[in-house]
Chains A and B, each alone.
Chain A
Amino acid sequence: MKKIFAYPRALSPKRTHYCPGCTHGIIHRLVAEAIDDLGIQERTIGIAPVGCAVLAYEYFDVDFLEAAHGRAPAVATGVKRVHPEAIVFSYQGDGDLASIGMAEIIHAATRGENITVIFVNNTVYGMTGGQMAPTTLPGQKTTTSPYGRDTATVGYPIRVCELLATLDGPAYLERVSVHDPQHIIKAGRAIRKAFALQVAGKGFSLVEVLSSCPTNWGMTPTQALRHIKEVLVPYYPLGVFRAPEEVSGDDA
């Protein structure tokens, strides 16, 4: 009998610590599937962030380094320069990447560092209990914006893909979502493509994934998915912000 659905090899069969309805787990799976598809498990090295995904190294069956908060792109750079033939990816939250680690991500991108970044945007600091993030939407209530994000005093959210698209360095930038099966399939394709580009030596690739945090949004899992669709996607438009001409969506 042909097996048509199985646990990805690059994922360890463990129960995760993520909250019910959190989409970090789905994104892990998509990354593992891309690694399996491309046959790169034995040469892949991951960098875990400080954030809810800090234990990512527990779930992937590949070599891993746990980085300081925000510094994963610098750590990935160090690893990649020692092992250029390895496939190196960082997995980072929005506080990690777009606040404390902004310098590291911009400079890794502008160097065209041949790494892949999985950027999980859930518009809050999940791990520390739901504080305001650089991506928190105008008016959004968090524990440190209890009256809603007031743009007059704390400014506006950062759109990372659009920001990085001003640079010549990146090879591929795409924003995806995982709020329903069609979007999960699309997100999987984008992640696979990002890794494939690295395998082909095309340079810096980043996939931003709009992700849920039902716990800190104060929502049920289904409400949280609807919130992504109805509130996040209009503010953070999905799509490709830098397309690599050389590698098409199909063979990549």
Chain B
Amino acid sequence: MERVMMKGNEALAEGAIRAGCRFFFGYPITPQNEIPEYMARRMPEVGGVFLQAESEVSAINMVYGAGGAGGRVLTSSSSPGISLKQEGISYLVGAQVPCVIVNVARGGPGLGGLTPSQSDYFQATKGGGHGDYRLLVYAPGNAQEMVDLIGLAFDKAEAYRNPVMILTDAIMGQMMEPVVLPPLREVSPDKPWATTGKKGRSKPNLINSLGIVGEDLERINVELQAKFARMAADEVRYEADGVEDADLVVVAYGTSSRVVRSAISRLRQEKKKVGLLRPVTLWPFPQQILAELAAAGKRFLVVEMSAGQMVEDVILSVNDRAKVTFFGKLNGTVPTVKEVYDRIMSLLPEGGEE
């Protein structure tokens, strides 16, 4: 295992290569350009393919072809580009094609700004494109998780035959941190379901999402929903830090969870009972643990770099059993430790000391 200093975006790209990803299709957009640039250099070294597509629309459809043909394939983009990919993502789900999609999110709506944002949570977790579908969505909290979660993402994408999304942001992408890299893996594209050419098979393989007869479409959807139910049951991941004896649990992911962690460590030095619940999977959402904490009488603060998106899932999870307060930043800036500290202080009960 090697330990190196890497930028989040590059750690993610190298993590993908180590996980056996040999195909990358993308289109330039800030703040994710380090990923395609890294891939352009690195793919030829491992016998892989980097191709700059003519648009995000083309890129995601190249992903559909490569994934349907059995390849471990990645695309990355940022918010406006991810919007363009939505039709393709819907097709990928419908045709059960595995792939990994990275969103290094920036502020919106529209052209928005280049600054880090968490305002694509709805798009990532509630569908995004047309039809009844879900993606497995991972939100890394540090550079090491960029490496670990992208490796996991490829394995899960293939296990479920479903696209997996990594939702991160510009700060996570630009930050340099030490990471431990796993060894290089090779994964064969010869999957039994993939379009590889018949090669002696008696029946051709088909990658398709068309269910032109009503019953066909119902059958496809029933199959997909059963798969999403399995994902919801088995794939929840979160980090719970000091939540058991906390009066207040702060819920945050990605960049905002890092700010929250700093504020909480100061508060703990001052003997305040505050915990952090950091969802690592945004879908499936860690509902169960939140419901349990609510039943145990905790209150919640949700911190996001958005007008309040994940907070809706927290409210749904606690289901009126607890008070949920929201603190968000809209202007593409990151909340400061002081802001979060003050907000938490204002919510703590009198004499909240241990």
Q: Is the CB–CB distance between B69 and A79 below 8 Å? A: yes
Q: Is the CB–CB distance between B69 and A64 below 8 Å? A: no
Closest to A111 in B: B51
A180 at the interface (CB under 8 A from B): no
A65 at the interface (CB under 8 A from B): yes
Q: Which of A41, A44, A74 contacts B65 (CB 8 A)?
A: A74
Q: Is the CB–CB distance between B61 and A67 below 8 Å? A: yes
Q: Which of B62, B198, B204, B208 contacts A77 (CB 8 A)?
A: B62
Number of interface residues of B (CB under 8 A): 41
Q: Is the CB–CB distance between A63 and B198 below 8 Å? A: yes
Compute how far the CA of A76 lies from the CA of B70 in the bound complex, rounded to whole angstroms: 13
Compute how far the CA of A55 lies from the CA of B216 in the bound complex, rounded to whole angstroms: 14
A194 at the interface (CB under 8 A from B): no
Compute how far the CA of A68 lies from the CA of B200 in the bound complex, rounded to whole angstroms: 28
Q: Which residues of A contact B69 (CB under 8 A)?
A: 45, 78-79, 82-83, 86
B209 at the interface (CB under 8 A from A): yes
Q: Which residues of B contact A71 (CB under 8 A)?
A: 57-58, 61, 64, 88
Shortest Cβ distance from residue A154 to the other chain B in the assembled complex, whole angstroms: 24
Q: Is the CB–CB distance between B210 and A79 below 8 Å? A: no
A86 with B197, Cβ < 8 A, contacts A65-B65, A78-B66, A81-B51 known: yes
Shortest Cβ distance from residue A175 to the other chain B in the assembled complex, whole angstroms: 24
Q: Is the CB–CB distance between A66 and B197 below 8 Å? A: no
A-B contact count (CB 8 A): 139
Closest to A110 in B: B54
Shortest Cβ distance from residue B125 to the other chain A in the assembled complex, whole angstroms: 23
Shortest Cβ distance from residue A143 to the other chain B in the assembled complex, whole angstroms: 22
Q: Is the CB–CB distance between B198 and A81 below 8 Å? A: no
A206 at the interface (CB under 8 A from B): no
Q: Is the CB–CB distance between B206 and A64 below 8 Å? A: yes
Would you give the 0/1 interface string for B200-212, flagging 1 where the beta carbon is closer than 8 Å to chain A? Answer: 1000111111101
A36 at the interface (CB under 8 A from B): no
Closest to A45 in B: B195
B176 at the interface (CB under 8 A from A): no
Q: Which residues of A contact B199 (CB under 8 A)?
A: 42-43
Q: Is the CB–CB distance between A76 and B65 below 8 Å? A: yes
A contacts, CB < 8 Å to B: 41-45, 47, 54-55, 57, 60-68, 71, 74-83, 86-87, 103-104, 106-107
22 example contacts (A-B, Cβ-Cβ < 8 A) are as follows A41-B198, A42-B198, A57-B206, A60-B204, A63-B198, A63-B205, A64-B206, A64-B208, A65-B206, A66-B210, A67-B61, A67-B65, A68-B88, A75-B65, A78-B73, A80-B65, A82-B23, A82-B49, A82-B66, A83-B189, A86-B197, A103-B57
3 shortest interchain CB distances as A-B pairs:
A78-B65, A78-B66, A74-B61
